Structure 1
Amino acid sequence: MTKIKFCGLKRKEDILYVNKLKPDYVGFVFAKSKRQIDKYQARKLIANLDESIKKIGVFLNHKVEEVKEIAKFAKLDILQFHGDEEPGFCDGFEQTVWKAFRIKDKNSLKKLDRYMVDGFLLDTYVKDSYGGTGKRFNWDIVSGTNDDREVILAGGITCENIKKAIEEVKPNVIDVSSGIEVDGLKDFEKMKKIIEIVRG
């Protein structure tokens, strides 16, 4: 069954929501964005998070030491690198590592083989933006991407298109952020709907 990640949690209400709904993963954004939090906020939120839910930190062109410090302080399970990190950068961590790639066309997939990471996160290419745009890409480009590593599909996933996304791409994990928001805040009903659609 496809696993579910809800990304960009910021408030104690968000933690209450996910504790009820039990997605497989939740993401905390340390990169500069409207969903950014710091390591202190993350640690406080994570302290109240159900232990069965894996904690992901989203980083963007951070320094190695900074990533390690935040990961240890906030007790993260998975590190998601969303910037221009080179393969060598991604190798030096004890946590599971996911590397994000912004998909524009078939050429965007050529970089994947250079990275010895645990998972590939496929997101939408938007000029001057590294994710969280709410825009989807043409899933035909990555349909049937065969790899031993986890494939995580992101980019404009909503209640309306998530079933199609799973059928076409067959990802291991589906990553939703703006698609579970109303006026920039996480919405319990939208989260619940995603869980119901995916888990049936």
Structure 2
Amino acid sequence: MAKLKICGLTCEADVAAVNEVKPDFAGFVIEVPGRRRSVTPEQVKVLVKGLNEETLPIGVFVDAPPELPISLLRDGTLWAAQLHGNEDEDYIEKIQNMTGKPVIKAFSIKTPEDVKRALRSPADYILLDQGAGGTGETFDWNLVPPVKRPFFLAGGLAPENLRTAIAKLHPWAVDISSSLETDGKKDPAKIRQLSKMLKQINTLEAYKKEREADS
């Protein structure tokens, strides 16, 4: 049963769109220079207040001063911090120890060693992506062996390849942004379509497991 994270929310219209489908997680890119989806901590606090309580807010950071994610985790704005830069183990453990909140560490997967490095991470969850900065492209899924720890799968996921991705890699959650946009803005129709598709995929996967257990 893959969970859904819709990332890159920037405005109240985006929040309203995700509230329609109530994904498990909503992602906000926070103070990342040069990123069109970047928002300020003040904007995030306002947007999160409008988010359905069933959807957990996640802040996406790139080499931010640790005080930034720590403050937003401590004051209850965020459920977790997702790190897409060169944050090391000390950085990750500092956030964990000072907040008691989950940390998600993103890894760019280009070689089998990248996967091994991700699996060794002390983060609560890992995120496997084509590029740690979020490129909207897929990576070679054949590089990923069966993964026992919960992980997010990102990078170029869309209705066209979602079923294959889940069947092949069995991620704990899928992280989707670019394919849910039209002209650079979140598209409510695309969000509804993908959410419906994921529910169908999850229902089928659950049915298969039941059949295997009975056989």
Which interval holds the TM-score relative to the shorter structure? over 0.9
State the secondary structure of the residue aligned to 2:71.
Answer: helix
**How much identity, in percent, do the aligned residues show?**
35
User: Which residue of 99, 104, 112 corresponds with 1:106?
Assistant: 112
Whole-angstrom CA distance in 2 between matches of 1:83 and 1:121: 12
Secondary structure at the aligned position of 2:94 is classed as coil
Task: For residue 146 of structure 1, report the CA deviation from its aligned partner.
Answer: 2.5
Asked whether the equivalents of residues 5 and 176 of structure 2 are also in contact (C-alpha less than 8 Å), the reply is yes
- CA shift digits 1:104-161 (9 cap, x unpaired): 0112112124421111100003xxxx433211101111142232xx210000011111
Letter paired with 2:88: E
Q: Closer, same or farther in 2 for the Cα pair 1:113/1:157, shift >3 Å?
A: closer
TM-score normalised by structure 2 residue count: 0.86
Q: CA–CA distance in 2 between the matches of 1:113 and 1:157? A: 21
| Separation in structure 2 between the aligned mates of residue 49 and residue 107 of structure 1, nearest angstrom | 38
Aligned counterpart, 1:137? 139
Which runs of 5 or more residues in structure 1 are unaligned? none
Distance 2:161 2:17 in 1: 22
Q: Compute the TM-score of the two structures, normalised by the length of structure 1.
A: 0.92
**What is the correspondence of 1:38-117 to structure 2 with a 5 Å cutoff?**
38-73=40-75, 75-93=77-95, 94-117=100-123
Q: Quick one: which amino acid aligns to residue 116 of structure 2?
A: K
**Preserved CA contact (<8 Å) 2:60 2:84:** yes
Task: Tell me how many residue pairs correspond in the alignment.
Answer: 194
Structural mapping, 1:184-195, within 5 Å? 184-195=184-195
Structure 2 distance, partners of 1:113, 1:161, is: 24
Q: Could you tell me how far apart the structure 2 residues matched to 1:109 and 1:77 are? A: 25
Matches within 5 A, 1:98-177: 98-125=104-131, 130-147=132-149, 150-177=150-177
Give 1:74 shift. Answer: 6.2
> What do residues 146-199 of structure 1 show as CA deviations (whole Å, max 9, x unaligned)?
32xx21000001111111111111000000010101111001111111111111
Query: Judging changes above 3 Å, is the alpha-carbon distance between structure 1 residues 112 and 134 closer, same or farther for their aligned structure 2 residues?
Result: closer
Aligned-residue Cα RMSD (Å) equals: 1.3
Is the Cα–Cα contact under 8 Å of residues 151 and 173 in structure 1 kept in the other structure?
A: yes
Which residue in the other structure is 2:204 paired with? none
Whose radius of gyration is greater, 1 or 2?
2
Asked if 1 retains the 8 angstrom alpha-carbon contact of 2:119 and 2:126, the reply is: no
